[in-house]
Amino acid sequence: MTLTIPALRARSARRRRRRPLIVSLAVAFLVLIAVTGLLAPVLAPHSPDATSLLNSLLPPGTEGYWLGTDSTGRDVLSRIMYGARLSLLAPLGVVLLSGVLGITIGLLAARAGGWADAVISRGMDIVFAFPSLLLAMLVVAVFGPGLTAPICALAVSYTPFVGRVVRSVALQEGARPYMESYRVMGFGELWVTLRHLLPNVMPVLIAQSALAFGYALVDLASLSYLGLGVRPPDADWGSMISQARSAILQGEPWSGLLPGLVVLLTVVSVNVLGEHLGGSIGRKQSEGV
Amino acid sequence: MLAKKTLARKEAPDGGAEDRRDALGVSRLSLAVGAGERAIPLLADVTVRVGRGETVGLVGESGSGKSLTARTALGMLPRGARATGSVTVSDVDVLSAGRKTLRDLRRTRASMIFQDPRASINPVRRIGDYLTEGLRARGVPARAAAERALDLLDQVGIRDPGSAVRRFPHEFSGGMLQRVVIAGALSTEPELLLADEPTTALDVTTQAEVIALLKNMQQVHGTGMLFVTHDLDLAAAICDRIYVMYAGRIVEESVSAALFTAPAHPYTRALLEASPSVHGDKVAIKAIKGRPRALAESPSGCSFRDRCPLAGDDCAASVPAHRPHGTSLVACLHPEQVTP
Amino acid sequence: MARMLAAWIGKRALGALLTVLAASILIYGSLRLVPGDPVLAVAGGRRLTPEQVEALRHSYGLDRGFAQGYLAWIGDALRLDLGTSLNYQTGVTSLITGRLGVSGLLILYSATLAIVFGSAVALVSAVKGGLVNRIATIAVAVTTATPSFVSAIGLLALFSVGLGWFPATGAGTGPADRLWHLTLPATAMAIVAFGVLARVGNAAFAEELGREHVEAARSRGASGAAVIRRHVVRNALAPMLTIVGLLFASLFVGTAVVETAFGLDGVGSLLVSSVSRRDFPVVQGIALIAVLLFVVVNTLVDLAMPFIDPRVTVGGLSR
pLDDT per residue over A191-240, tens digit each? Answer: 777 777 788 888 888 888 988 999 999 999 999 999 888 887 778 888 88
Whether residue B42 contacts residue A5, with contact meaning beta carbons closer than 8 Å, is answered with yes
> Is pLDDT larger for residue C265 or for residue A2?
C265
* Homologous superfamily of A23-46+55-288: MetI-like (1.10.3720.10)
DSSP codes joined into one string, A189-214: HHHHIIIIIHHHHHHHHHHHHHHHHH
How many other CB atoms are found less than 10 A from the CB of residue A172?
Answer: 12
Q: Which residue of C has its CA nearest to A228?
A: C276
- Please name the member of A138, A227, A270 whose beta carbon is closest to the beta carbon of C283: A138
Mutate to test the interface with B, among C127, C128, C220, C305 (most CBs of B within 10 A): C220
pLDDT over threshold 90, residue C107: yes
- Name which of C129, C211, C310 is nearest B119 (Cβ-Cβ): C211
Question: What is d(CA A158, CA A152) in angstroms, rounded to the nearest whole number?
Answer: 10
**Which positions of chain A have pLDDT values less than 50?**
1-2, 285-289
pLDDT of residue B281: 55
Enumerate the residues of chain A whose CB falls inside 8 A of the CB of residue B33: 5, 8
Question: Which of C161, C280, C298 minimises the CB distance to A251?
Answer: C161
Residues of chain C with C-beta less than 8 angstroms from the C-beta of A148:
none
pLDDT at A156: 94
Three-class SS of residue B132?
Answer: helix
- Confirm whether B60 is domain-assigned: yes
- Please check whether residue B152 lies inside any domain of the structure: no
CA distance C206 to chain A (A): 11
| Contact of C155 with C168, CB cutoff 8 Å | no
Residues C215, A1: C-beta atoms closer than 8 Å = yes
> What is the residue type of C279?
D
Tell me which chain B residues have a C-beta less than 8 angstroms from the C-beta of A5.
Answer: 33, 40, 42, 68, 78, 294
C218 close to B (CB below 8 A): yes
Residue C36: pLDDT above 80?
Answer: no
In a domain, B303, yes or no: yes
Is the separation of the CB atoms in C195 and C140 below 8 Å?
yes
Q: Which residue of A has its CA nearest to B43?
A: A5
**CA pseudo-torsion sign C208, C214, C215, C221:** negative
pLDDT, one tens digit per residue, over C136-170 is 988 888 898 899 999 998 898 888 887 878 887 77
Dump strand ranges (E) for chain B: 24-33, 40-50, 55-59, 81-89, 92-93, 110-113, 192-196, 224-229, 241-246, 249-255, 323-325, 328-330
How many domains does the structure of chain B reveal? 1
- The Cα B311–Cα B303 span in angstroms is 11
Which amino acid belongs to residue A77? L
Q: What is the mean pLDDT of chain C?
A: 86
The answer to the question of residue B176 being in a domain is no
The full DSSP string for C1-66 is -HHHHHHHHHHHHHHHHHHHHHHHHHHHHHHHHSSS-HHHHHHTTS---HHHHHHHHHHTTTTS-H
B67 contact residues in A (CB cutoff 8 A): 3
Mean pLDDT over C277-296 rounds to 91
Q: Is B248 inside any structural domain?
A: yes
**Residue B274 belongs to what domain range?**
4-8+21-122+190-337
Query: In this complex, do C149 and A225 lie within 8 Å of one another by their Cβ atoms?
Result: yes
A7/B contact by beta carbon, under 8 A = yes
**In a domain? residue B15:** no
Of B134, B233, B110, B229, nearest in space to B187 by CA: B134
Please state, in angstroms and rounded to a whole number, the distance separating the CA atoms of residues A238 and A229. Answer: 9
Query: Computed from CA positions of residues A55, A226, A265, C153, in that sequence, does the dihedral angle turn out positive or negative?
Result: negative
When pLDDT is cut at 50, 70 and 90, the band that residue C187 belongs to is very high
What CATH number is given to the structural domain containing B205? 3.40.50.300
Closest approach of B309 to chain C, Cα-based (Å) = 38
Give, to the nearest 10 degrees, the angle between helix C280-308 and helix C2-33: 160
Q: In sequence order, what DSSP letters do the residues of B233-268 get, joined into one string?
A: HHHHHH-SEEEEEETTEEEEEEEHHHHHH---SHHH
Q: Is the CB of C216 less than 8 angstroms away from the CB of B137?
A: no
User: pTM (2 decimals)?
Assistant: 0.83
Query: Domain ranges in chain A?
Result: 23-46+55-288
Using alpha carbons only, what angle is made at residue A212 by residues C300 and C197, rounded to the nearest 5 degrees? 45
Look at residue A281 in the predicted model and tell me its pLDDT: 62
Q: Which residues of chain B have pLDDT under 50?
A: 1-19
- Return the amino acid letter for A267: V
ipTM greater than 0.90, yes or no?
A: no
Q: Give per-residue burial for C4-13: e unless 16+ CB within 10 Å, then b.
A: eeeebeeebe
Contact at CB, B42 and A7, closer than 8 angstroms: yes
Contact at CB, C231 and B121, closer than 8 angstroms: no
Chain A environment of B63 (Cβ under 8 Å)? 6
Q: Which helix (H) or strand (E) holds C203?
A: helix C175-209
With an 8 Å Cβ cutoff, are B184 and C220 in contact? yes
Between positions 160 and 199 of C, the ones with CB within 8 A of A are: 161-162, 168
pLDDT of residue C157: 84
| Measured distance CA(C223)–CA(B109) in Å, rounded | 16
Q: Looking at the complex, does the CB of residue C76 fall below 8 Å from at least one CB of chain B?
A: no
C45 CB burial (10 A radius; 0-12, 13-18, 19+): exposed
Calculate helix-pair angle for C175-209, C130-144, nearest 10 degrees.
130
For the beta carbon of residue B302, count every other beta carbon within 10 angstroms. Answer: 29
Q: Exposed e or buried b for every residue in B51-70, given b needs 16+ CB within 10 A?
A: bbbbbbbbbbbebbbbbbbb
Is C221–B137 a contact, with Cβ atoms under 8 angstroms apart?
yes
Backbone angles phi, psi at A119, to 5 degrees: -65, -45
Contact B42 A6 (CB under 8 A): no
pLDDT at B17: 41
Domain-embedded: residue B64: yes
Long-range contacts of B268-275 (CB under 8 A, 24+ apart): B268/B232, B268/B244, B268/B338, B269/B338, B269/B339, B270/B307, B271/B59, B271/B232, B271/B244, B272/B232, B275/B231, B275/B232, B275/B233
Is C310 in contact with B122 (Cβ distance < 8 A)? no
Say yes or no: C154 contacts chain A, CB-CB below 8 A. Answer: yes
Nearest to A273 by CA among A85, A94, A92, A29: A29
In angstroms, rounded to a whole number, what is the distance separating the alpha carbons of residues A31 and B297? 44
Cβ of B71 within 8 Å of Cβ of A3? The answer is yes
Going by C-alpha positions, the residue among B12, B49, B82 that lies closest to residue B226 is B49
Give SS3 for B112.
strand
Per-residue model confidence (pLDDT) at position B1: 38
- For residue B57, being part of any structural domain is answered with yes
Q: What percentage of residues in chain C have a pLDDT greater than 70?
A: 96
Q: Contact at 8 Å (CB) between B264 and B325?
A: yes
